Amino acid sequence: MGRYALPRRRLAVAISSVALALAGGAVLPTTTAVAAPAVPWTSATAVTGADTDSYVKDLVTTADGSAVAVWNQFADTDSTQRKLYAAVRPAGSDTWGTPVLLTTTPDEAGGVKLHASADGTVTALWTEYPDETSPGAGPFDSRVVSSVLTADHSSWSTPVELVGTDTAWGDGGIDLA
């Protein structure tokens, strides 16, 4: 193991987590969301198109009862390129809003998590592999990226790289408290 108590990848993830905790306090508030009123289930509604494969990555409910979903979807049927989308279903509604493209990656985004804050904002945090050309092919560089949905759920911020591209660590899974 050398001079570190943790393997390189775990050490990098631990350092990144501490950096996020120290620098990201404004990005990821620690307050607990207020319980929202229950809305009855309705029949299933397609949020994504039917022409390409999609993979749900996370779903959260905000303090006002709105639901926010994020998923990966192939760019088209002949591509390994993926698009990371998000959509909002307003509180008290059974209709999802228009999907918003958060990013396009050469390969599937790694771990993706959403965090709903008490102030109504939702933070999306994900891992990207910018140099891969298909799953498992190309350099194993990875970076952590984030975007924030405004409290009124009207728009997402431009994605920001929180942890730069590095081959020394991998996606050990993202978890937000």
Instruction: Give CA 76 to chain center in angstroms.
Output: 21
Domain range list for the chain:
53-166
Q: What is the pLDDT of residue 24?
A: 45
Give me the sheet containing 82-89, strands edge to edge.
54-61, 67-74, 82-89, 100-105
Q: Which two tokens stand for residue 83?
A: 């698009």
Helices (H) and strands (E) in the chain, counts: 1, 8
Contact assessment for residue 169 and residue 8, using Cβ atoms and an 8 Å cutoff: yes
Q: What is the pLDDT of residue 105?
A: 79
The number of CA neighbours under 13 Å toward the Cβ of 164 is 0
Q: What is the pLDDT of residue 14?
A: 47
Q: What is the pTM of this model?
A: 0.67
Identify the segments of the chain with pLDDT beneath 50.
1-8, 11-29
